[in-house]
Amino acid sequence: MQNKKVLKILLMLTILTLICSALFFIPYEKHFVFIDSETNEVTARVPVVEERFKIRYTHSIHLSDVIESYRLDEDGQLVMTELEYEDFNIGMPSNAGEGERFVEKDGKYFIQDMKRKLPEFRLLVGDVDAELAFLIAGKELDLKKSLERGKIYTFRAQRLSIYQQLEGVNIYE
């Protein structure tokens, strides 16, 4: 009789341990992640607190701000929705693509109504003293404080398990 109780308890503990272990490794919470292109490890992450975000950087040639606006679609893909810039020089578009609108306002240029889907993109963190910021939910996160200069990162949205959330730095906190 005593052995049956012990076996039942051990069986329940084993099942509970397996369930807890599985929950620890099953991806569930969506994050924006910066993955080191050399090591393929999550270096930094931002919980998806809003579906829309922006990346602001200083253009390396004209030294003016460029703001790229994105949203996540229902499949979790990145969708570029707007581009804002101040100069037409090298590397910047001079007109909108099909289905997009080109707008000039207050000395700035906008390409609006963009629907450019990207599963991910590469981000080079330049080794220069120019701004690179991630804007979400009213916060501006300085990426040059969290990411290593001179390195390339893969940026995407993905679900992370509790275990994966132990990797990298939560730069939203």
pLDDT digits (tens, 9 = 90+) for 119-161: 999 999 988 778 899 999 999 999 999 999 999 999 999 999 9
| Integer Rg of the chain from CA | 22
Could you read off the pLDDT of 152-162 as tens digits, one per residue? 999 999 999 98
| Over residues 4-8, mean pLDDT | 82
Q: Using 50, 70 and 90 to split pLDDT, how confident is the model at 1?
A: low
Look at residue 35 in the predicted model and tell me its pLDDT.
95
**What is the rounded CA–CA span in Å between residue 21 and residue 68?**
39
| Over residues 91-120, mean pLDDT | 90
**What is the rounded CA–CA span in Å between residue 159 and residue 33?**
9
